[in-house]
Amino acid sequence: MRLRGSVFLTRERTWHRLISEKKINWHRRYRSPQGVKTEHEILRIFESDRGRIINSPAIRRLQQKTQVFPLERNAAVRTRLTHSMEVQQVGRYIAKEILSRLKELKLLEAYGLDELTGPFESIVEMSCLMHDIGNPPFGHFGEAAINDWFRQRLYPEDAESQPLTDDRCSVAALRLRDGERTA
């Protein structure tokens, strides 16, 4: 392994070994997978997977969930789908920047990306789009509350958190002080 800038290079870790050229398809599990040779053919397979992701019920369900941003100045309500699409665009920009800089440094071939720029962008985009699938309601706070609830009930002797109380707010500035009332 050698370090070039902030990039680690290894012979064992190239994109050709990380990105399979063979499509795994559960419909054809008894047939031998067909090898793909050109970037166009690999990209076509990635685009097929991309379409299945975009048209999946899990992605459509993100439209029904509100994306909560505490202390957001913009009062517009956004969904997790909108948020995921924004993250997808940021991921695409970052992927293109990485590829551009690797090309300038003549490192695309060292990473095995010289013929896989399209699939690389597609993987990053789809990963960004799917990043919110499976998240519980109320985001990370909801996840922590669910974990806390189960930890206290399933393993009470191992629970490190505070006992359950009526006040579950972990942000001190949002808690009511003695004598304060809600409007």
Mean of all residue pLDDT scores within the chain: 75
d(CA 90, CA 23): 27
Query: Higher pLDDT residue, 15 or 94?
Result: 94
Is the full-model pTM beyond 0.95? no
Residue 44 in contact with residue 116, Cβ under 8 Å? Answer: no
- Tell me the domains of the chain and their CATH numbers: 2-139 (1.10.3210.10)
Say if residue 99's pLDDT is above 70.
yes
d(CA 45, CA 25): 11
Residue 15 in contact with residue 111, Cβ under 8 Å? Answer: yes
What is the SS3 assignment for 127? helix
Query: Higher pLDDT residue, 114 or 38?
Result: 114
Q: What digits encode the pLDDT tens for the residues 69-85?
A: 666 676 677 888 999 99
Q: What digits encode the pLDDT tens for the residues 127-158?
A: 999 998 887 767 777 778 888 888 787 777 66
Q: What digits encode the pLDDT tens for the residues 112-128?
A: 888 889 889 999 999 99
> Binning pLDDT at 50, 70 and 90, where does residue 2 land?
very low
